[in-house]
Structure 1
Amino acid sequence: MMGIMNFTHHHETHHLHFRNHSRIAGVGANDTKEKGHHSGGCYEQLFVSPEVFVILGIVSLMENILVIAAITRNKNLHSPMYFFICSLAVADMLVSVSNGFETVVITLFNNMDKNMQHFIVNVDNILDSVICSSLLASICSLLSIAVDRYFTIFYALQYHNIITVRRAVVIISCIWTACSISGVLFIIYYDSAVVIICLISIIFTMLALMASLYVHMFMLARLHMKRIAVLPGTSSVRQVTNMKGAITLTILLGVFVACWSPFFLHLIFYISCPRNPYCVCFMSHFNIYLILIMCNSVIDPLIYALRSQELRKTFKEMICCYCMGGIWDFSSSY
């Protein structure tokens, strides 16, 4: 989906799924420059160097491959929680890499003949489907992690009976199947307002559910800390652990909202007020919103994985082994 809008910045003839509608609002590739000249540049599509997309894509690729490899290598991480993290890493990796690759293809073949441009449009549609499916899978994986942590806190004794590895694999398979179908349909029927309204509704439903889960868990963590604090002779280790968990949940929700909110607002404005000058001005900065989403793909491994001591230990062993010229054995266990 990110590459969808990015394409028109480089190739004006592509009938783009979102940005081509900005032409209706009077901010097409040629019109934006003229309007921007007369209105202080607010309507001009903000340019972001393709190198930025490529660098973020490479960084995201390296980080998420490291996460996936670590979870694969360490059998102690073969649990539902880390399988959901692995699904998130795959989704984030596909989002960033596909968008970066798409930017490179468009930049290299932008000035080719019409036959080549038609080929690029087809490639772009395929990559857009991958990106859209991965975005949906990323949100679903985030929700799965939130639900997993919710059961960990509220149903600690029954957790291993409720959330099993087999059920986690089935859930992940269902997520990717549903998201892949949805991504393809979204690209095919991109010009239908109903499709975008459905997408917005799904996104905000997931956001609302995630927010309620995180707030509930955060309040529970604070309540536990207050109860533990008044108990005589209570060790401070547990208090520190609870505080760390509460802070982690706050960071997760805050970063997710910060990185995705501009994109969600862009979709809302695109449907509700495509001709309003303020909405058009906001949508003209879409490239920045793409960068924020890619940054979320880079930040996610740091939040979800690097705060795990077991993952950090595996990372260090893998990096040290690589620096020493060795090749780790993925079949090994700890």
Structure 2
Amino acid sequence: MRLMVTGGAGFIGSAVVRQAIADGDEVLNVDKLTYAANPDNVAMVADDPRYRFAQEDICDFPAMARLIAEFKPDAVMNLAAETHVDRSIDGPGAFIQTNIVGTYALLEAARGYVESGDAPETFRFHHISTDEVYGSLGPTGEFTETSPYQPNSPYSAAKASSDMLARAWRETFNLPVVVTNCSNNYGPYQFPEKLIPVVIINALEGKDIPIYGKGDQIRDWLHVEDHAQALLLVARAGKPGETYNVGGRAERTNLDLVKTICKVLDEELKDSAHAPHDSLIKFVADRPGHDKRYAINCDKIGRELGWTPAHSIEEGMRDTVKWYLDNRDWWEKIRQGGFDTSKRQGLKSA
């Protein structure tokens, strides 16, 4: 396939790009290269003749229309987004602009492509979203594709709005849209403002590991490589007009997850002066509007497209910890650019 991937230098987007190239697809990676994007995430495919890169803003409609017309993709996969909840509380404007206005620009560019007659009959606009649009669950139950939207943060509200735009362009303009909503991702190349990298890096350096509230918020954890496989499958075979939830079937409280990471670090770093690493845990004031529990029912994508997660949480978390231990140069380079993992910002568990 010829895939136009927006946000392909970010965490999930780069996993999609790497997997697509490995699968033999042609990829146009479109990324503005904002703070959380990193060309190093796709350095291993940068010289592949099937890969090309364009530094552009998805809010720039003429640029998106031009790139689509020139590349003639079989699918547009929209992974470009502002994603960090803490940042959305401090500054919602960027989330409104990228997640809503950017999605609108892409939808309009894709609509022009289809209406021009240049798009293949199998063309899909694949909009990638989050389970956070569904709001917060009680102690039981799971989000399904028909769960009502109840976003509680500026981030999730912006993503919910973009989901509604994608739906409207399908219903009004017959654009072949598919939508996926995923649970919390983890794995290699995750920008070190997110919960898991913060825990690993702070533990390595003997700094406090801050946890919001009591750490009893529950999340369903999905390995990013499993997610990339699911997204590419939906881009190839998803039915236009449908939504597919993608989950890891691995619910954990934030506190249990942090303790698991600390245990792996204890085993991997037997001579560490900071062991046991869970002694570094520090409970801090909870985040405003912090959702209590997310859980994804991903039966539909398994039943209709044959996808299931390949990584167990135990295997995936151990591999992730080892990756950060083995790739210190990657995150040290980010920190040299001014990012400080010791700040409050960075505890969003996503």
- TM range, smaller chain: under 0.3
Query: Which structure exhibits the higher relative contact order, with contacts defined as CA atoms closer than 8 Å and separated by 6 or more residues?
Result: 1
More helix by share: 1
Higher strand share: 2
Task: Normalising by structure 2, report the TM-score.
Answer: 0.24
Calculate the TM-score normalised by the size of structure 1: 0.25
